[in-house]
A and B are shown apart, each in its own frame.
Chain A
Amino acid sequence: QAVVTQEPSLTVSPGGTVTLTCGSSTGAVTSGHYPYWFQQKPGQAPRTLIYDTSNKHSWTPARFSGSLLGGKAALTLSGAQAEDEAEYYCFLSYSGARVFGGGTKLTVL
């Protein structure tokens, strides 16, 4: 089964920009993996931020954006706020199976 890799942790300054990435052991991540990005805060269920690489839901703050970058899925946060401190998970679709990345703990400091 595929392994999906993310940075274990990243730190961003308030107002700064950071990019989280999501790679696949099977090769380049493409739109055919239908990348999702979830945000999870302690004690809460995950919340969908991005679906199908770059699409946002109505509650997704405009400062979040999704893309494909260098063979990986990417989540970019521009203008970080304290409330963005959370764990972020990517989620990829393979034929049949689905796989989460290990998560990136984002600290806003």
Chain B
Amino acid sequence: EVQLVESGGGLVQPGGSLRLSCAASRFTFSSYWMHWVRQAPGKGLVWVSRINSDGSSTNYADSVKGRFTISRDNAKNTLYLQMNSLRAEDTAVYYCATSISRLFYWGQGTLVTVSS
């Protein structure tokens, strides 16, 4: 069974930075697109970003473009999300996800809280 484990969340002040990681296992990580999706407390799912299998192509939601950077290290089977210039509205649980044979697999999420 595909396993995705996020880490790196925590409390950060507005304007600060944080890097999230997602450790992938039990599938061929280097073959698949990866996504970040977030969910603010009590709110809906919001797609954040995606990256292709070799890291050469990325896409972002308008709300994070220019502030967040998605990347991956296929040698380490790890996905990253570098988040800069954080705002209160970035407070959410951040999930990494992948689609294999049209089925989305999700991690358990990591909570990011942006507050002074």
Contacts and interface: CB of A to CB of B under 8 A. Distances in A.
Whether chain B is bound by chain A comes out as yes
Interface of A: 1, 36, 38, 40, 45-46, 48, 51-52, 55, 57, 87, 89, 91, 96-103
Interface in B33-51: 35, 37, 44-47, 50
Nearest to B104: A48
Given A89-B45, A102-B44, A48 B103 contact: yes
A40 B107 CA distance: 14
B103 A51 contact: yes
Interface of B: 35, 37, 44-47, 50, 59-62, 95, 102-104, 106-109
The A interface, classified by DSSP as helix, strand, loop or mixed, is strand
B59 A96 contact: yes
Contact of B106 (A46, A51, A57): A46
Given A36-B104, A89-B44, 13 more contacts: A1-B62, A38-B104, A40-B45, A45-B106, A45-B107, A46-B106, A52-B102, A89-B45, A96-B59, A97-B59, A98-B35, A102-B44, A103-B44
Nearest to A45: B106
Contacts of A100: 37, 44-47
Nearest to B102: A51
Contacts of B107: 45
A71 B35 CA distance: 27
